[in-house]
Amino acid sequence: MGKITSALKKAAEERMNRIERVSRIREHDQLVVKKIGESLVDPAVVTYFDPKALISEQYKILRTNILSLNKGVPPRAIVVTSSIHSEGKTITSLNLAVSLSQAVHKPKVLVVDADMRKGKVHKYLGVKQEFGLSELLQGKADLDQCLFHVDMDNLAFIACGAVPHHPAELLQSEAMRHFISTMRKQFDFVIIDTPPIISVTDSGIVGSMVDGVLLVVQAGRTQRGIVKRAEESLYQAHCKVIGTVLSNIEYHLPEYIYRYL
């Protein structure tokens, strides 16, 4: 009986700890977003360095397409994923987020690195972040310790954090649901970068909690069958695919178009 009593007591304590972690995220009304003093943003985040570049214009088109969805009531929480690795999902997440933050009404945008296996958001931003989503969901850090921005006050980031033992289970937790719900109230747009859908189930889990999913496909590399399988996996996870982003496209601009730009 002693062992049973101890087990029940331990289970009750773990349950209370989970409730406290969820409550801290849920009741966090005043956000403090710290500024990273020194950063080395990767040149691939072209919208950050040159908003008028030709590539930046393509991200603005993507921004316009998203903002025009659902009769002008666009999805506010969006997961970005890909079929397989190295298709450009993280670069797409960052460039889309920067482009959104540069809109006329200056919306508050949050980028969350939910790739807790091989997250690269902090690397592309050139920062060293001690705490991230992993620590936040496990109750090892507060929101104020995880939020940061580089130069734009209306654009915030949360890194992936240390690799947890069970990433999928952590993303499927009640703490993750409440985190997304809270961030939706604090930001106009929440862009969540996730792992490739065919490799692991993470993006399907998070995708079912948000308004829509963007699927990044690398031109000339990813086969149609793989893309179809990725879409099927997302649909099976009850995700709403709102569009496909084709990356790594090379094309020639006629001289008269270039002159206009």
What are 155-212's pLDDT values in tens digits? Answer: 999 999 999 999 999 999 999 999 999 999 999 999 999 999 999 999 999 999 999 9
CB 244: neighbour CB atoms within 10 A?
Answer: 13
Name residues whose C-beta falls within 8 Å of residue 150's C-beta, 6 or more positions apart in sequence: 35, 36, 39, 41, 125, 127, 157
The pLDDT of 29-51, averaged and rounded, is: 80
**Across the strands, what pairs with 82?**
216
Give the span between the Cα atoms of 26 and 86, in whole angstroms: 34
Dihedral-angle region of residue 248 (phi above 0 means left; psi in -120 to 50 means alpha; beta otherwise): left
Q: Which is more confidently placed, 35 or 91?
A: 91
pLDDT at 138 over 60: yes
Distance separating the N- and C-terminal Cα atoms of the chain: 78
User: SS3 helix, strand, coil % of the chain, rounded to 5?
Assistant: 45, 15, 40
The pLDDT of 102-106, averaged and rounded, is: 92
**2-260 fold:** Rossmann fold (3.40.50)
**What are the extents of the domains in the chain?**
2-260
pLDDT at 83 over 70: yes
